[in-house]
């Protein structure tokens, strides 16, 4: 094999936007390790160069470069293959860097962000698909793409979905119900029963305050709320306010005391039942568990059962989110927000998008801007762009005491004037994790079983943080795993003994609710009661408020 001509190779490397990063990373690697990587790189690049000189089209398996426009021309295929080779080399360099695991994870994350951004698919000058469309449309695609980009700049986010296709209350969040209580922090929705009888024990659902609640009530065919109602439950749901300056000093204690505990009190009063079936999703589950432990410290067991979906109680392993949390970053946020303030929803959305940049950023840059396409209507992605703010004091407390210092599981924390001992929650628990979850790694969700003291059951679903949860039986998609032996204390051991089941995990949860629902009774004819009168129809005003 002949190596590339040195002058041509050097010229190509100087024009390569990833070359500088190779040098920067290489400066932190032992010379002998760097020499070994360099030799392997030159060998692979030499083969690729020879293919180019002989007119042979390199084989490229990455889906970003799978079309005929990329594969049908040796030069464009070479650009793609060279980019992938550089990416492979850079990732190998990162693994060779001498650093602590946390430092290496941050380097790995930062390098991957640049690798993804430098893809030739992201630039009109190197994207043959976009060039081909530009020619076919006689420049119209570029005009539309520029218009799309300017429109998104005005909105402050990349359009992931046709936002004109959806409206909350019209074709999203349309499960019938009534707002029966509100305070500055949340509205409480009571949903209209759909069955002749209902379980005596009501279900109180607490979604994450980081996003709008209607991820649980998208459209009728994929609404977890509607499904719970149709299974014969009296369902109440917390709709968090989208904080503005009036809530800028709100604390974690407020979310627990004036949020979840207040919602429990209202549901107890309306239903006449003191122990409720409690439900928390993501950070909603963390808040619910904290609230139940606070009540337990006051001598009250308010949960008849507890459902936790993709929830951290043990923050030992927070996955890739760990790159955003260290003493320096948390202290900086505390300094910025020490006198109150808001963590903007757009910043939170950008953080989560950076965890999957090819899917949630660059894919839409290519389609919307370079090719001038309009995004398709997709309810989940519409919700993903409907961001919410967080009060600064609450956000900073959450970062430091959970992600950074992992104090929630220790029993050391004082919340709402009480020591929080999660083991004091006396209720059976249904714990769910998603196998491909990049926000709450499923072994971390599983670790909740080693904290809660009641009878627990774990179910593992396919797919990610959101798609794994929103998996209606009506579509009969994906699969899930169960292992009810009760022996495994470590996630990996649990999975080795698990049984794979086709379809949605929702019926498993429905059975858990039924088993803990008590006797069947006739549903109440009207929402609320004499003390808590109907305020407005679901989904209410709070969920429609946009983040600034």
Mapped onto helix, strand or coil, the DSSP state of residue 478 is coil
Give pLDDT, residue 317: 94
The phi and psi torsions of 427 (rounded to 5 degrees) equal -160, 145
pLDDT at 14 over 80: no
Q: Which of 158, 180, 263, 282 is catalytic?
A: 282
Mean pLDDT of the chain: 92
Instruction: Indicate the pLDDT class of residue 12, thresholds 50, 70 and 90.
Output: very low
Give pLDDT, residue 15: 53
Contact of 151 with 159, CB cutoff 8 Å? yes
Measured CA to CA in angstroms, residue 431 lies from 223, 313, 395 at distances of 19, 11, 25
Most confident of 328-342, 343-357, 401-415: 401-415
Give pLDDT, residue 416: 97
Q: Which residue has the tokens 């602590």?
A: 100
Measured CA to CA in angstroms, residue 537 lies from 122, 137, 211, 226, 542 at distances of 45, 47, 21, 15, 12
> CA neighbours within 13 Å on the CB side: how many for 285?
23
Give pLDDT, residue 487: 82
Sequence-separated (6 or more) residues with CB below 8 Å from residue 38: none
User: If you average pLDDT over residues 138-164, what whole number do you get?
Assistant: 94
pLDDT at 102 over 90: no
Q: Quick one: what percent of the chain has pLDDT higher than 70? A: 95
pLDDT at 13 over 70: no
Using CB atoms within 10 Å of the CB of residue 24, give its burial: 0 to 12 exposed, 13 to 18 middle, 19+ buried.
exposed
Which residues does residue 458 pair with via DSSP β-bridges, in sequence order?
431
Give pLDDT, residue 24: 60
Give pLDDT, residue 486: 82
Sign of CA dihedral 397, 398, 402, 407: positive
Domain ranges of the chain: 6-122, 177-337+389-544
The phi and psi torsions of 370 (rounded to 5 degrees) equal -75, -35
Instruction: Indicate the pLDDT class of residue 471, thresholds 50, 70 and 90.
Output: very high
Instruction: Indicate the pLDDT class of residue 103, thresholds 50, 70 and 90.
Output: confident
Query: What is the number of H-type helices and E-type strands within the chain?
Result: 21, 17
Q: Which of 9-23, 298-312, 337-351, 458-472 has the lowest mean pLDDT?
A: 9-23
Give pLDDT, residue 166: 96
pLDDT at 208 over 90: yes
User: If you average pLDDT over residues 467-474, what whole number do you get?
Assistant: 95
User: Nearest 5°: CA angle at 233, between 228 and 236?
Assistant: 80
User: If you average pLDDT over residues 218-226, what whole number do you get?
Assistant: 97
Give pLDDT, residue 104: 87
Task: Give tens-digit pLDDT for 287-344.
Answer: 999 999 999 999 999 999 999 999 999 999 999 899 999 999 999 999 999 788 999 9
User: If you average pLDDT over residues 159-178, what whole number do you get?
Assistant: 96
Instruction: Indicate the pLDDT class of residue 3, thresholds 50, 70 and 90.
Output: very low
Give pLDDT, residue 281: 98
Instruction: Indicate the pLDDT class of residue 97, thresholds 50, 70 and 90.
Output: confident
pLDDT at 8 over 90: no
Tokens of 383: 């919700």
pLDDT at 152 over 70: yes
Catalytic residue flag (residue 396): no
User: If you average pLDDT over residues 203-214, what whole number do you get?
Assistant: 97
Give pLDDT, residue 19: 58
Give pLDDT, residue 548: 74
Task: Return the H-helix or E-strand segment holding 228.
Answer: helix 224-230
**126 Rama class: left (phi>0) / alpha (psi -120 to 50) / beta:** alpha
Measured CA to CA in angstroms, residue 535 lies from 173, 179, 194 at distances of 17, 5, 21
13 vs 64, more confident:
64
User: If you average pLDDT over residues 122-129, what whole number do you get?
Assistant: 96
Closest to 472 (Cα-Cα) out of 190, 226, 208, 160:
226
User: If you average pLDDT over residues 199-220, what whole number do you get?
Assistant: 97
Continuous H helices in 372-449: 379-385, 392-398, 442-446
- Rounded Cα distance between 376 and 382, Å, is 10
Give pLDDT, residue 27: 60
Instruction: Indicate the pLDDT class of residue 1, thresholds 50, 70 and 90.
Output: very low
| Domain 177-337+389-544 top-level CATH class | alpha beta
User: If you average pLDDT over residues 354-359, what whole number do you get?
Assistant: 90
Give pLDDT, residue 355: 87
User: If you average pLDDT over residues 5-13, what whole number do you get?
Assistant: 51
User: If you average pLDDT over residues 464-476, what whole number do you get?
Assistant: 93
Mapped onto helix, strand or coil, the DSSP state of residue 191 is strand
Which residues does residue 279 pair with via DSSP β-bridges, in sequence order?
205, 307
């Amino acid at each position: 094999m002949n190596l590339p001509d040195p002058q041509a190779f050097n010229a190509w490397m100087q024009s390569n936007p990833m070359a500088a990063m190779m040098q920067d990373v290489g400066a932190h690697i032992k010379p002998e390790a760097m020499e070994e990587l360099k030799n392997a790189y030159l060998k692979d690049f030499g083969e690729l160069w020879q293919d180019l000189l002989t007119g042979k089209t390199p084989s490229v398996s990455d889906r970003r470069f799978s079309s005929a426009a990329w594969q049908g021309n040796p030069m464009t295929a070479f650009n793609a293959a060279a980019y992938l080779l550089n990416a492979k080399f850079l990732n190998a360099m990162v693994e060779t860097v001498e650093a602590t695991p946390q430092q290496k994870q941050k380097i790995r994350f930062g390098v991957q962000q640049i690798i993804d951004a430098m893809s030739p698919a992201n630039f009109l000058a190197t994207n043959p698909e976009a060039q081909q469309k530009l020619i076919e449309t006689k420049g119209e695609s570029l005009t539309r793409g520029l218009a799309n980009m300017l429109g998104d700049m005005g909105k402050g986010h990349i359009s992931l979905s046709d936002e004109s296709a959806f409206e909350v209350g019209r074709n999203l969040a349309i499960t019938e119900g009534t707002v029966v209580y509100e305070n500055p922090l949340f509205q409480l929705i009571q949903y209209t029963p759909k069955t002749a009888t209902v379980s005596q024990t009501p279900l109180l659902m607490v979604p994450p305050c980081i996003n709008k609640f209607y991820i649980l009530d998208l459209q009728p065919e994929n609404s977890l709320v509607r499904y719970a109602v149709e299974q014969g439950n009296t369902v109440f749901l917390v709709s968090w306010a989208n904080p503005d300056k009036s809530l800028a000093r709100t604390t974690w204690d407020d979310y627990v005391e004036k949020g979840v505990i207040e919602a429990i009190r209202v549901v107890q009063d309306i239903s006449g039942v003191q122990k409720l079936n409690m439900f928390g999703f993501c950070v909603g589950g963390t808040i619910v568990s904290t609230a139940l432990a606070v009540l337990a410290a006051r001598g009250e067991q308010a949960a008849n059962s507890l459902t936790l979906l993709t929830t951290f109680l043990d923050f030992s392993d927070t996955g890739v989110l760990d790159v955003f949390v260290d003493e320096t970053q948390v202290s900086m946020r505390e300094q910025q927000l020490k006198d109150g303030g808001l963590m903007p929803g757009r910043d939170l959305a950008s953080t989560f998008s950076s965890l999957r940049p090819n899917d949630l950023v660059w894919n839409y840059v290519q389609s919307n801007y370079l090719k001038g396409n309009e995004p398709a209507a997709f309810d989940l992605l519409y919700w993903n762009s409907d961001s919410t703010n967080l009060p600064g004091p609450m956000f900073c407390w959450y970062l430091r005491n959970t992600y950074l210092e992992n104090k929630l599981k220790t029993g050391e924390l004082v919340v709402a004037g009480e020591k929080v001992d999660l083991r004091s929650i006396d209720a059976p628990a249904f714990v769910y994790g998603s196998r491909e979850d990049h926000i709450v790694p499923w072994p971390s969700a599983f670790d909740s079983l080693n904290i809660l003291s009641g009878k627990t059951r774990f179910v593992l679903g396919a797919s990610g943080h959101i798609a794994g949860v929103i998996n209606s039986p009506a579509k009969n998609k994906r699969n899930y795993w169960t292992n009810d032996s009760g022996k495994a204390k470590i996630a990996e051991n649990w999975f080795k003994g698990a049984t794979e089941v086709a379809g949605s995990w929702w019926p498993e949860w429905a059975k858990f609710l039924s088993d803990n629902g008590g006797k069947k009774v006739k549903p109440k004819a009207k929402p609320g009661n004499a003390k808590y009168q109907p305020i407005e129809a679901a989904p209410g005003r709070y969920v429609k408020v946009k983040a600034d």
